[in-house]
Amino acid sequence: MRRVLALAPVAVLVALGLLFALFGLRNDPRYLPRAMVGKPVPEVSLPTLADGLPDTLAGPGQGPYLINVFASWCAPCEIEAPVLVALKAQGVPIVGVAYKDEPAKTRAFLARTGDPYARVLLDPEGRAGIELGVSGVPETYLIDGSGRILDKIAAPLTEDDARRLAGRIRR
């Protein structure tokens, strides 16, 4: 009887290990939830980097635009910066959301990498990130002219992504 009791914790650990292994094999780690795609942009008011006055995620004008969630502490954000600057040069409007960052560090980041944004909103507590369903930075959202989220890219933008997004914005 003692021998069975002594092996019980080992059996429980083996069973848990099998459960975790089966769960891991059935789920694609590259899958990221896109729950907000097809829904309106959340109505969140955040201070702007420029003057601290409240503003929303709504577009900078008529027509489609991008929302890019970034941070100065995010290495992949630095990698995608030239792609965003190129999109701005093509006339693509981009709203930046500085996610869980300090204004001074955000300014230094934009001075170093270039500022591709029509405006930058500060999200120090991550409120907008929660509302958008951000799983990490950088993330980019394509918004149509009526304020509906059409697409989400949860990785640094590549040149191929930029071409595809710019093409959808120009339609």
Sheet holding 149-153, edge to edge: 119-123, 94-99, 65-70, 139-143, 149-153
Average pLDDT over residues 131-146: 94
% residues pLDDT > 90 (the chain): 69
* Three-state SS at 117: coil
Residue 117, pLDDT score: 97
What's the CA dihedral at 20, 25, 26, 32 to 10 degrees?
90
DSSP state of 42: P
**Measuring CA to CA, which residue among 156, 164, 147, 143 is closest to residue 90?**
164
Per-residue confidence band for 13, with pLDDT thresholds at 50, 70 and 90: confident
**pTM (2 decimals)?**
0.80
The enclosing H or E element of 156 equals none
Per-residue confidence band for 169, with pLDDT thresholds at 50, 70 and 90: confident
Average pLDDT over residues 72-89: 97
| pLDDT > 70? residue 18 | no
Average pLDDT of the chain is 87
The enclosing H or E element of 15 equals helix 2-26
| Fold topology of 45-170 | Glutaredoxin (3.40.30)
DSSP state of 163: H
List the domain boundaries for the chain.
45-170
Residue 115, pLDDT score: 97
The conformational region for residue 33 under phi > 0 = left, psi -120 to 50 = alpha, else beta, is beta
